[in-house]
Each structure stands twice: as C-alpha cells, then as structure tokens.
Amino acid sequence: HPRGEDGARMMRQAAPDFVIPPTTEEYAVTITASLARYFLQRERSVGLALDENPLEIIQTDRGARQMTKILEMLAVVQAHGATPFDQLIDVQGNQLSRGTTAVLVTPSTRDTWVSAAHGLLRRGLRVVAVVVDPHSFGGRPGAGAVALRLGTLGIPTYVVHQGDNLQ
C-alpha cells in the first residue's frame, strides 16, 4: 500500500476519471461521502442525519463498518425531505454534545438554516458549512449571500460550484 505524498500522487494518477452527475443532490452526496471517509480514516467518530421520510440517523461511530453504513444510506438518499433543513439542524443539534463538530452540507440558499447553524455555535458546537451553489446548476442564486452571512457569524464555509474539483 503506497504511503506519503508520492503514494497519494500515484493513487490519483491511477484512478480513472470520475465525473459527478451534474445535480446538487449528487454533489452533496459525493461531498458528504468524501468528508465521512476523510474523518473516518483519521479515526474520528462520524455520524449522519438525513431528512428522509422518516428521518434517517446513523449514530456516531468509527471504522470501516461505519463508512459502509454511511455509503449505504447515501446511495438511496433523495433531496425531497419533508423537514426543512433548519428544523433538522435544530433537532439534531440538540442531540450533540458541546465541542462536537457539525458539518452542514446543503444547496439551500434559505436564510433560516443559517440562523439554525448560528444556534449550534451558541450552544458550543463547532460548525462548518459546505454550500453547493444551486445557481451553478441552473437553479436559484444566493449561495454567495449565504456564505457571506455564515462567514460573518464565524462559520467556516466552502462554496462548491458545478465542475469544481472535489479532491
């Protein structure tokens, strides 16, 4: 198994080109899976909450089995949840202990979830946001304004556009 930067470079070169289908849903799923893999490889506990019908939750855990659970859930997710994202943040945020990091991945440009993310900060959680820009997929504008507001609240924010390299 190759190690270090040379090994990582070899693995990138050997991997076939993968094109993510051009939807905000597929980008959000890919980002979420990549982040889970990143943290699990570093032996961090990772959980997942998705607004499916009913609400789908994978409790935090570590290891390869956790990655399998996450991938299985993400493989069938659809972006048509019944619960608004801000309510999902509020409900699940109340379940998290102080000092936990919540990574919020969404294409939503609604201001209500930004307020809910700020509520997590006030409760002592660390919050990171990944906003999949719907405008770059032909949807509504507003990701820039959401990112600006999150930034003014002190929430590290990454805006992802269609075609961005997710490595």
Pair type for strands 101-106 and 56-61? unpaired
Q: Among 19-23, 41-45, 78-82, where is mean pLDDT lowest? A: 78-82
Query: SS3 of 58, please?
Result: strand
- Helix H or strand E encompassing 28: helix 24-41
pLDDT in tens, 96-150: 999 999 999 999 999 999 999 999 999 999 999 999 999 999 999 999 999 999 9
Percentage above 90 pLDDT, the chain: 76
Q: Are 2 and 10 contacting, i.e. CB atoms less than 8 angstroms apart?
A: yes
Alpha helices in 42-126 (DSSP H): 64-75, 85-93, 111-122
pLDDT in tens, 129-144: 999 999 999 999 999 9
- Report the interhelical angle of 24-41 vs 64-75 (nearest 10°): 170
Residue 31 pLDDT greater than 90, yes or no? yes
